[in-house]
Chains A and B, each alone.
Chain A
Amino acid sequence: MKESIEQIRNIGISAHIDSGKTTLTERILFYTDRIHAIHDVKGKDGVGATMDHMELERERGITITSAATHVTWKTHQVNIIDTPGHVDFTIEVERALRVLDGAVLVLCSVAGVQSQSITVDRQMRRYRVPRIAFVNKCDRSGANPEKVAQQLRDKLGHNPVLLQLPIGLEAKFEGVVDLIEMKALRFEGDSGENVVQSEIPAEMREAAERRRAELIDTASMYSDELMEAALEDRATPTLIREALRRGTLSLDITPVLIGSAYKNKAVQPLLDAVCAYLPSPQDVPIEAVGLDDDEPISLAADPALPSVAYAFKLDDGRYGQLTFVRVYQGELNKGDTVIQSRTGRKIKIGRLVQMHADKMEDIEAARCGDIVGLFGVDCRTGDTFIGENAPRLAMTSMHVPDPVISLSVKPADNAAFTKMSKALQRFSKEDPTFRVHVDDESAETIISGMGELHLEVYVERMRREYGAEVETGAPQVAYREAITCRAEFDYVHKKQTGGSGQYARVVGYIEPAGEEEFEFVNEVKGGAIPTEFIGACERGFRSSLAKGSLIGFPVVGIRVLIHDGNSHAVDSSDMAFAAASRAAFREAYRRAGPQILEPVMKVSVEGPSEFQGAIYRSIMQRRGTVLGSTEDGGFARIDADVPLSEMFGYATDLRSATQGKAEFTMEFAKYAPVPRDVSETLHAEHKGAAAVEEG
Chain B
Amino acid sequence: MNDVMKTLRRSPRRLLERSGHPGPGPGSLALVLARAGTGKTAFLTGIGLDALLSGQRVLHVSVEANVDRVRDWYDDLLSELIRAEGSAVNGAEIQAKIEKERHIHSFLGGSFSAEKLDETARTLAERLDFRPQVIVIDRLDRRHNSHDEVEALRDLAERLGAELWVSARVYREMPDAKEGHLPPPSEQIEDLVDLAFKLESEGDRVRLHVLKDHGEILDKNLDVLLDPTTLLLVPEADIASR
Contacts and interface: CB of A to CB of B under 8 A. Distances in A.
Contact of B106 (A157, A628, A641): A628
A620 interface: yes
Interface string B87-115: 00000000010011001111111010000
Interface size class, chain B: 20 to 34
Given A157-B109, A633-B109, A633-B111, A628 B104 contact: yes
Given A631-B108, A633-B109, 15 more contacts: A157-B109, A613-B127, A616-B127, A628-B67, A628-B70, A628-B103, A629-B103, A629-B106, A630-B105, A631-B105, A631-B116, A632-B111, A633-B111, A637-B67, A641-B99
B123 A628 contact: no
6 contacts: A157-B109, A626-B103, A626-B130, A630-B107, A631-B105, A631-B107
B111 A631 contact: yes
B109 A627 contact: no
B146 interface: no
A639 interface: yes
A628 B100 CA distance: 11
B173 interface: no
Given A616-B128, A620-B128, A630 B106 contact: yes
B66 A630 contact: yes
B67 A616 contact: no
B179 interface: no
A620 B130 CA distance: 12
Contacts of A632: 106-109, 111
A627 B120 CA distance: 14
Contacts of A616: 123, 127-128
Interface string A608-634: 000011001100100001111111110
Contacts of B106: 628-632
A513 to B, nearest CB: 14
Interface in A617-665: 617, 620, 625-633, 637, 639, 641
B181 interface: no
B14 interface: no
A629 B119 CA distance: 13
B49 to A, nearest CB: 15
A630 B67 contact: yes
A628 B126 CA distance: 15
A613 B123 contact: yes
Nearest to A614: B127
A617 B128 CA distance: 8
Nearest to B130: A626
A602 to B, nearest CB: 9
Majority secondary structure of chain B interface residues (helix, strand, loop or mixed): helix
A612 B67 contact: no
B71 interface: yes
Given A626-B128, A629-B67, A612 B111 contact: no
B149 to A, nearest CB: 17
Nearest to B100: A625
Nearest to A629: B105
B71 A628 contact: yes
A157 B109 CA distance: 9
Q: From B104, B111, B116, name the one whose CB has the most chain A CB atoms within 10 angstroms.
A: B111
A654 to B, nearest CB: 15
A616 B124 CA distance: 9
Identify the 5 closest CB pairs spanning chains A and B, nearest first. Answer: A628-B67, A628-B104, A616-B127, A632-B108, A630-B106
A625 B127 contact: no
B123 A612 contact: yes
A396 B34 CA distance: 37
Contacts of A631: 105-108, 111, 116, 120
Interface in B197-235: none
A103 B130 CA distance: 41
Contacts of B100: 625
Contacts of A628: 67, 70-71, 103-106
A63 to B, nearest CB: 39
Given A613-B127, A616-B127, A630 B103 contact: no
Interface in B51-99: 66-68, 70-71, 96, 99
Nearest to A612: B123
B28 to A, nearest CB: 25
B71 A629 contact: no
A639 B67 contact: yes
A613 B109 contact: no
Nearest to B107: A631
A630 B104 CA distance: 8
A625 B67 CA distance: 14
Nearest to B60: A628
B99 A625 contact: yes
A629 B96 CA distance: 18
A617 B127 CA distance: 7
Nearest to A157: B109
B99 A627 contact: yes
A620 B105 contact: no
Q: From B99, B116, B130, name the one whose CB has the most chain A CB atoms within 10 angstroms.
A: B99
A158 to B, nearest CB: 11
Contacts of A625: 99-100
Contact of B127 (A620, A627, A637): A620
Contacts of B104: 627-629
Interface in B132-180: none
Interface string A26-51: 00000000000000000000000000
Nearest to B126: A613
A629 B120 contact: yes
Contacts of B70: 628
Interface string B15-50: 000000000000000000000000000000000000
